[in-house]
Amino acid sequence: MSESFEQLIDPLGRHIEDLRISVTDRCNFRCTYCMPEEGMQWLNRSDVMSFEEIERLARIFVERYGVKGIRLTGGEPTVRAHLPVLISKLSKLVGPDGPVNLAMTTNGATMRLLADPLKQAGLKRVNISLDTLDRAKFHQMTRRDELNNVLDGICAAQEVGFDPVKINAVIERGINDSEILDLATFGREQNVEVRFIEFMPLDAEGHWMNDNVVGQAEILEKISAKYPLEVLPARGAAPADRFRFLDGGLYGEGSPGSMIGVIPTITKPFCGDCDRVRLTAEGDFRTCLFANKEFDLLTALRSGESDDQVADRIEAAVATKWAGHQIHQVNFTRPSKSMSQLGG
């Protein structure tokens, strides 16, 4: 362990080990739970962090504070030009525990073109969003007719060796909750781990209601009626509870398709173990996805502050990290930004 290594610890004793970085606020989809169909005010390109600025901030988190994992998000990260160049820079970062674990969340629509360059550049893992297997419903939810490209993108990610490939499925009552079992079957057949995500109050239209949420218990009940499940060991700081199919799936025990995950942000918050912090595309530092306060690091970089000064800002921000998002409590306030602007 480096002599200069410092642990980044919040007021509740949680060690910060996971950094989410949004590389753009733009997206080629218009998912209903993420952004409006029209009227988004995109950031000026000059206001978005450059690759060099992203690398510099990431280096501070990895080399100084021992952050183990970085996940690239958006908007849609693959719409950022020359993304493999950034991947190459970040994949070379090494912390006290070894090389950083570099992952990306994507809608998968362009993975047929990008999977191999991203893998060659050093990307380790991918999560691909897929909320429905029905073409008409896919168009309804994303406002784009791209289902076939996403399905092909999943295949492309597997073909170049991403392992495991995980599928993120946001479940919304009355929209795609009838497909929970179909999505679980898809995971078994395609040998991918499907992670069901409870619908969160981050939709740009502001229409979220608790009645729209399909909770973890209901999701598991629908799946286990056909495929009996067993809970896997506790997730620790990871956001998903994981469950294995008792029959081992179609590809055998331990394969991606032999298990599912559920991210129960609403019905079973994992805030007590949260080890994540975030950077938005414009370089604002957030200690929680639902935080109402941001800390401007990009201006600090561009005004010539040293790494030590930027690190002081990071530590001061982490010192404000709260116990949890407080959804269902009277003092909960929705973030002023939608999911696409925050980074998923």
pLDDT at 341: 63
pLDDT, average across residues 239-259: 95
pLDDT range class, residue 2, cuts 50, 70, 90 = very low
Element (H, E) at 112: helix 111-121
Residue 340 has pLDDT above 80, yes or no: no
* Six token digits for residue 64: 């100084």
Element (H, E) at 20: strand 18-22
φ and ψ of 312, to 5 deg = -60, -40
Q: 132-146 pLDDT, tens per residue?
A: 999 999 999 998 999
Residue 333 has pLDDT above 80, yes or no: no
Q: Sign of the C-alpha dihedral, residues 75, 77, 81, 85?
A: positive
Q: 67-112 pLDDT, tens per residue?
A: 999 999 988 999 999 999 999 999 999 999 999 999 999 999 999 9
Q: Where do runs of H (alpha helix) occur along 128-215?
A: 135-142, 147-159, 180-190
pLDDT at 330: 44
pLDDT at 219: 97
CA 136/CA 154 separation, integer angstroms:
19
Contact 328, 198 (CB under 8 A): no
CA 132/CA 77 separation, integer angstroms:
21
pLDDT at 335: 57
CA 272/CA 129 separation, integer angstroms:
26
DSSP 271: G
pLDDT, average across residues 216-228: 97
pLDDT at 210: 73
Q: 285-323 pLDDT, tens per residue?
A: 999 877 778 999 999 999 999 999 999 999 999 999 877
Contact 249, 255 (CB under 8 A): yes
Q: At what angle do helices 83-91 and 51-59 cross, to 10 degrees?
A: 20
CA 223/CA 173 separation, integer angstroms:
16
Residue 157 has pLDDT above 80, yes or no: yes
Query: How confident is the prediction for the chain on average, in pLDDT?
Result: 90
pLDDT, average across residues 135-161: 96
Q: 8-65 pLDDT, tens per residue?
A: 999 989 999 999 999 999 988 888 777 776 767 888 999 999 999 999 999 999 999 9
pLDDT at 1: 39
Task: State which amino acid sits at residue 190.
Answer: Q
